[in-house]
Amino acid sequence: MTKYCNLILVFLLLSTGHAAVAQQSEATQKLLKRNEMFEPAIIEVAENVYTAIGYQVSANTMIVGDDGVIIIDPGQQVAAARRVRAEFERISDLPVRAIVYTHGHADHSNGASAFYDPEAGIEVWARSNYWSEPNRVEAAGLTGGVRPSNTQGFDLRPEQKIGVGVAIPPQRPPAGSNQVDGVGSQAKPVRIDPTHMFSEERITLDIAGISLELVAAPGETADQLYAWLPKQRVVFPGDNFYQSWPNVYPLRGTARRSIRDWISSLDSMVQKDPLHVVGGHTTPILGTANEVLTNYRDAMQWVHDRTIEGAKLYMTPDELVEYAALPAHLAELDYLAEYYGSIWGTVRDIYAQDLGWFDGDPLNLHRESPLRQSERMAELVGGVDILWTKAQEAMTAEDPLGAAQLAQHVIRLRPNNPEPKLLMADALDIIGERTFNAPARNYTLSSANRFRAQGAD
Ligand SMILES: [Zn+2]
């Protein structure tokens, strides 16, 4: 720990008297509290419907029929999926008749071989455009970039790892595979491809006496579906719902996601009048599914509409983030809190998809290089030394974001000087620790580690 962290810690110790509390921001405490949701458990959602939470990154469900079971989303890793299977078999030892993939993301499908027997005639269902997002990432040549591992927290020190806000902290995938949510498509060693795919809007399966409707539901990915169990009124939205603001813009960077399709898909689920909802991650919500999905849909619609409305008034994406803030009755709902997706990311992404990179500010048509901007800043304050002093003062004044912004100029102007990089690392550590949105937190802390390594060179 460097001198700045120590100063802040001493300050907090004096003001609170509790070391344990002083070292953890509200954001950290809230994320740790959220993780209590992921204690491994098998939850009885409805008659004959059981969902495993906390064994894997994603939620895995078994529906028990007359002479067999259907598995929805077998999960991420074969060993963990085997544990889930063992738990399910304590409830029912009937054979697996079918597996349904809600979408082509490795964290929902790569565990399939734990449930699959190639000789048993098991039907594996998905939509005909299954695996659309990893294919898109691969086609763009973006497979294997560092942003996915930075945002998932794979590159953090153990004590920095809290998770991703909607799941237990994911495991770094084994070399040569890519088992992170939606990243890459090289996970072939454990992939079980669908045996049955449908290109229609909807299809009804009748397997083991279970009537299960699969409905095309583009949103989080283009290949998403939701499953609907009419008898028990349970909906399985895949990753079009979990208890967090939706990940409309994934910070890791991936195929663009259509918020309009996503809203329509949620509306389609609401029309079913569901009682229970089993999201792709986080615990099922029992009894109030219709109200919850309605609020989820309405919140996304609100942010979409405000963004478009403000964009027509010359508002820039940064201004729109404030303009599109949720009304109080939605903002207070924990399942819309920014554990994973963010409203600020959603607003900027809607703008970027519809209007592109140009934010409407004429000065951004005439931008100077970052180095020239930093030179101007130094000239303005009276030299680089003063800029550096101001950065240090901001840090001791408990303004790490101000310090980081000033240090960035000094780093550009004195690229061989390690001190500003170390100050940047200290500032980002504090900023990250106070960040509630898990991917943004993980990326910020990963960046702190990167600056510290550069400063130590
Ligand atoms: Zn997922």
pLDDT of residue 45: 98
Q: Write out the residues surrounding ion ligand 1, Cβ under 5 A.
A: 107, 181, 239, 280
- Residue 131 per-residue DSSP state: T
Determine the residue type at 48.
N
Strands 96-100 and 210-216, by their bridges, are unpaired
The half-sphere exposure of 411 on its side-chain side, counting CA atoms within 13 A, is 20
Task: Answer yes or no: do 102 and 185 share one domain.
Answer: yes
C-alpha dihedral over 118, 123, 124, 125, to 10 degrees?
A: 170
DSSP 297-340: HHHHHHHHHHHHHHHTTT--HHHHHHHTPPPHHHHT-GGGSSSS
Task: Answer yes or no: do 247 and 284 share one domain.
Answer: yes
Task: Pick the last residue of a domain from 290, 325, 347.
Answer: 290
pLDDT of residue 413: 98
Task: Pick the last residue of a domain from 266, 290, 314.
Answer: 290
Q: Is residue 335 part of a domain?
A: no
pLDDT averaged over 10-residue windows placed end to end, the chain, 457 residues = 44 38 84 95 98 96 98 94 97 98 95 94 97 89 84 90 88 54 42 96 98 98 98 98 97 90 98 98 98 98 98 96 98 98 97 95 96 98 98 98 98 98 98 97 97 91
Q: Is residue 135 part of a domain?
A: yes
Spatial contact of 126 and 197, defined as CB atoms under 8 Å apart: yes
Task: Answer yes or no: do 232 and 138 share one domain.
Answer: yes
Tell me how many domains the chain contains.
Answer: 3
Task: Answer yes or no: do 12 and 95 share one domain.
Answer: no
The Cα 160–Cα 433 span in angstroms is 8
Q: How far is the CA of 57 from the centre of ligand 1 (A)?
A: 8
Q: How far is the CA of 439 from the centre of ligand 1 (A)?
A: 14
Task: Answer yes or no: do 97 and 192 share one domain.
Answer: yes
Helix (H, G, I), strand (E, B) or coil at 394: helix
Q: How far is the CA of 288 from the centre of ligand 1 (A)?
A: 22
Q: How far is the CA of 384 from the centre of ligand 1 (A)?
A: 46
Task: Answer yes or no: do 241 and 377 share one domain.
Answer: no
Spatial contact of 183 and 106, defined as CB atoms under 8 Å apart: yes
Spatial contact of 94 and 211, defined as CB atoms under 8 Å apart: no
Task: Answer yes or no: do 127 and 253 share one domain.
Answer: yes
Q: How far is the CA of 173 from the centre of ligand 1 (A)?
A: 15
Task: Answer yes or no: do 66 and 179 share one domain.
Answer: yes
pLDDT of residue 175: 54
Q: Is residue 331 part of a domain?
A: no
Task: Answer yes or no: do 44 and 25 share one domain.
Answer: no
Q: How far is the CA of 165 from the centre of ligand 1 (A)?
A: 12
pLDDT of residue 174: 58
Task: Answer yes or no: do 267 and 399 share one domain.
Answer: no
What is the span of the domain harbouring residue 403?
363-456
CATH number for position 382 = 1.25.40.880
Query: Cα Rg for the chain, rounded, in angstroms?
Result: 24
Token readout for 318 is 């940064």
Task: Answer yes or no: do 148 and 178 share one domain.
Answer: yes
The Cα 240–Cα 226 span in angstroms is 8
Q: How far is the CA of 241 from the centre of ligand 1 (A)?
A: 10
Task: Pick the last residue of a domain from 290, 325, 340.
Answer: 290
pTM value?
0.91
Q: How far is the CA of 281 from the centre of ligand 1 (A)?
A: 6
Q: How far is the CA of 143 from the centre of ligand 1 (A)?
A: 18
